[in-house]
Amino acid sequence: MDLQTLWFVLIGVLWSGYFLLEGFDFGVGMLLPFLPKDERERRMMFETIGPVWDGNEVWLVMAGGATFAAFPAWYGTMFSGFYIALLLVLFFLIVRVLSFEWREKSESARWRATWKWANAVGSFGASLIWGVALSNLLYGVPINSSGDFSGTFWDLFSVYTVLGGVTLVLLFAFHGATFLTLRTTGDLCERAASAARRLSVVAALVVAGFLSWTVAVAVDRNDKSVFPPILPAVLGIAAVAAATFFALRRRSGLAFTMTAAAAVLWVATVFTSLYPRVMVSSTGFGNSLTIDNASSAHYTLAVMSVVAAIFVPLILLYQGWTYRVFRARVGGEEQVPEPTGGATTA
């Protein structure tokens, strides 16, 4: 495998990691106004993602940085071209960060309600826009012969790309609900399970529709044959169908595994459909950015490959350990430090 392909795959992996992880904390955020009955339950929900959301967002920072280093032209064209969309993403993400940090800092009901909604709207908005933005890479946007985006904000919206956004919103909400069934107890856990059941069927149908359409778009607009894009698409549809089955059967662990797989396969389908292009041009197919014309030189890619080979496994290791440390369900009761110090050692 040449280094360009390796980095294309790696950036796909980073987006997959981002969707798998931040996907459930977006989902929990979107469910905040609907699931909890009282302040205690709201705090439980915040507690389930409190220790990990920051580590989850790192995957986005890494995907952005990797794109800048490995494919500068992709980074430059996408970020300047999707200007307003990314401005909105930044707005939503900053508002979310604030909600995590500041919600607890005052007892006032109005203060807390404000931040609850800020988190929900931020989670919803960021999911929607990421879906629209990534599906646009494949669907095609106007790119001129010098490789710059030459369209407007409204060029980002078509039925297909909006469906891409809606798909992520539903999938993440479903993913967040299955996550909550694993991490909470009591009434809240019951309501999370019932939310997962209600979301499951519609999420499965929309995901199936979007992934099938993606294969068609790959063939129509990106000069691909049905295979290989059909492979991750079928697996993705199978995953979300299995997630629905397990959610309805109340098999929380398996349901969560399957929603996680569906989030990864969403990215895999879009990326497999894109390859070897990174941004399809809708105004002259020849203007499309590819892994070759958008990439850095061999030396940079080689250096970055060594760095990634060292640090990506390390990150997986310590983030995995973090999830192990915080695997206990959140009960919502006050935590009291134990006199002897720690309960868990690794």
Are 24 and 176 a contacting pair, CB within 8 Å? yes
> Is the Cβ of residue 65 or residue 284 nearer to another protein in the bound state?
65
> Is the Cβ of residue 91 or residue 117 nearer to another protein in the bound state?
91
CB of 153 to another protein, least distance (A): 8
What is d(CA 339, CA 335) in angstroms, rounded to the nearest whole number?
12
> Is the Cβ of residue 47 or residue 205 nearer to another protein in the bound state?
47
What is d(CA 298, CA 193) in angstroms, rounded to the nearest whole number?
49
What is d(CA 76, CA 202) in angstroms, rounded to the nearest whole number?
36
CB of 151 to another protein, least distance (A): 9
Residue 214 has which token pair?
């993606």
Residues 6+ apart with CB under 8 A from 226: 215, 219
> Is the Cβ of residue 274 or residue 304 nearer to another protein in the bound state?
304
> Is the Cβ of residue 57 or residue 219 nearer to another protein in the bound state?
57
> Is the Cβ of residue 33 or residue 72 nearer to another protein in the bound state?
72
Residue 289 has which token pair?
């950015």
Specify the amino acid at residue 148.
D
Dihedral, 233, 253, 250, 164 alpha carbons, nearest 10: -30
> Is the Cβ of residue 38 or residue 190 nearer to another protein in the bound state?
38
Residues 6+ apart with CB under 8 A from 245: none
What is d(CA 65, CA 203) in angstroms, rounded to the nearest whole number?
31
**CA 86 distance to own-chain centroid:** 15
**CA 179 distance to own-chain centroid:** 14
CB of 62 to another protein, least distance (A): 4
What is d(CA 71, CA 79) in angstroms, rounded to the nearest whole number?
12
> Is the Cβ of residue 72 or residue 209 nearer to another protein in the bound state?
72
> Is the Cβ of residue 26 or residue 210 nearer to another protein in the bound state?
26
CB of 296 to another protein, least distance (A): 4
DSSP letter string, 176-223 = HHHHHHHHB-HHHHHHHHHHHHHHHHHHHHHHHHHHHHHHHHHHHHH-
What is d(CA 47, CA 24) in angstroms, rounded to the nearest whole number?
13
What is the helix (H) or strand (E) element at residue 289, kind and residue range?
strand 289-290
Could you tell me which of 179, 201, 210, 284 has the C-alpha nearest to residue 245? Answer: 201
